[in-house]
Amino acid sequence: MYSNEHKEYLKKRKRRKFLIILTQLLIIIIFIAIWEILARLEIINTFISSSPSKIISTIIGLHNQNNLYKHIWITIYETVISFGLGTIIGIVIAIILWWNNFIYKVVDPYLTVINSLPKVALGPIIIIYCGANINSIMIMALLISVIVTIITVYNGFNETDKNKINLLRSLKATKWQIFKLAILPSSYPTIISSLKINISMSLIGVIMGEFLVSKEGIGYLIMYGSQVFNLNLVMAGIIILMIVSIIMYKVVSYIEKVLIKKD
């Protein structure tokens, strides 16, 4: 049984959490209300800023035209595939780099350069080699997610307690045993946390790719809307993208919690 002090502490935590969520919702509601009021009073130009009511009407119009869910599905599909491939490839390469320090020293400057390079600058080259299709979008997303995963996971490997490694070495453990018994278990939280980073990086890469070559997807809706000066469509695409990104992040966070509990 919990003590009265502990029960009171839990109540305060729940109350504080509720107040934080309530405040966050109120900020969003007030912002939307002010935006709509300013638009209706014509204080702001809705041609360049749109309005909440017009955005909702645009989303409903996409739904009625059976275009909404097709575009959402395309973006989610591309993101999930890129996320899965990026995570697997990134972790495997991070293991190789940890295993062979010589290879790491050779590729380290290249990783730094590629990571700092704006990936959209490589868009024309990717399109030339892969074509203006889904392959270019996937490559764009992988370029972003793989590098981030490699760096994050490799740094996690290097943060393993050196005393554990030295102890295993003193017991004449092989490199595989050191990796299996010390490196991997210690890096497990880092690997799981990298999933949350990777899902956002994959989504960014997919949207960038859709800006360049796609004729479907949320990125395409945003780009098409900007080309025809339809700000309602642009803002609708951005709102849909925000909702999709939040849902995907929450799903990965839930998976993280489940894996940590099992661990």
Model pLDDT, residue 26: 94
> Which three-class secondary structure string do you get for the chain?
CCCHHHHHHHHHHHHHHHHHHHHHHHHHHHHHHHHHHHHHCCCCCHHHHCCHHHHHHHHHHHHHCCCHHHHHHHHHHHHHHHHHHHHHHHHHHHHHHHHCHHHHHHHHHHHHHHHHCCHHHHHHHHHHHHCCCHHHHHHHHHHHHHHHHHHHHHHHHHCCCHHHHHHHHHCCCCHHHHHHHHHHHHHHHHHHHHHHHHHHHHHHHHHHHHHHCCCCCHHHHHHHHHHCCCHHHHHHHHHHHHHHHHHHHHHHHHHHHHHHHHC
pTM of the full structure:
0.80
Residue 1 has pLDDT above 60, yes or no: no
Residue 49 has pLDDT above 90, yes or no: no
Residue 100 has pLDDT above 80, yes or no: yes
Compare 2 and 220 and report the one with higher pLDDT: 220
Model pLDDT, residue 34: 93
What's the mean per-residue pLDDT of the chain? 84
pLDDT single digits (tens) 248-262? 888 888 877 776 666
pLDDT single digits (tens) 189-247? 888 878 888 888 888 888 888 888 878 888 888 888 888 888 888 898 889 888 888 88
